[in-house]
Amino acid sequence: MSNSVSFRDYPKAKSFLFVSGIKKDDFKHCFASEADAIVIDLEDSVPAERKKESRANVLEFCRLNSDKKFFIRVNDAQSDFFNDDMVFIRELGLKFIMGIMLSKAEQKEHIESVLKKFRRSAYNLAYRKCFRTSKFKSHSRTSLRKTTCFWGI
């Protein structure tokens, strides 16, 4: 399964390898690892002053490695960086992304904020479908306590 796990398979994944968006030299090494899934982190591993740099690193990597797919961990919905992350994902395009990881989701509105960013776009259908059919379906009706949520692409 190494590095080829899809969103539907991710519960079977035994290892997720996180790499900080500022460590662009490590991106390629991660894909050579035995990890089942790679998660590029734009959130806590990236200092505020380097958020832009981390997004640029991911774009550059994807342009040079069009065969690689990964999960991406975005800043939480209440952070000052969330909107920039959503714009970045639209710019990047979904062909590289297996899924989005939203951490610190405490309320259904935090989850819905991801969906709202993609309304009226070509990406909306994929997000809505996964949101409705994923194991996180119950989150739309309940409050959460610092949960990490995935959406598959």
**pLDDT tens-digit readout, 48-80:** 999 999 999 999 999 999 999 898 999 998 899
Q: How buried is residue 5: exposed, middle or buried, by Cβ count under 10 Å (0-12/13-18/19+)?
A: buried
Mean pLDDT over 21-42 rounds to 93
Closest C-alpha to 54, from 92, 103, 111, 16: 92
pLDDT tens profile 132-143: 333 444 444 433
Across 2-146, the runs of DSSP E, i.e. the strands, are 16-20, 37-41, 70-74, 97-105
Higher-scoring residue by pLDDT: 131, 86: 86
Tokens of 149: 């949520």
Measured CA to CA, the distance from residue 102 to residue 78 in angstroms comes to 11
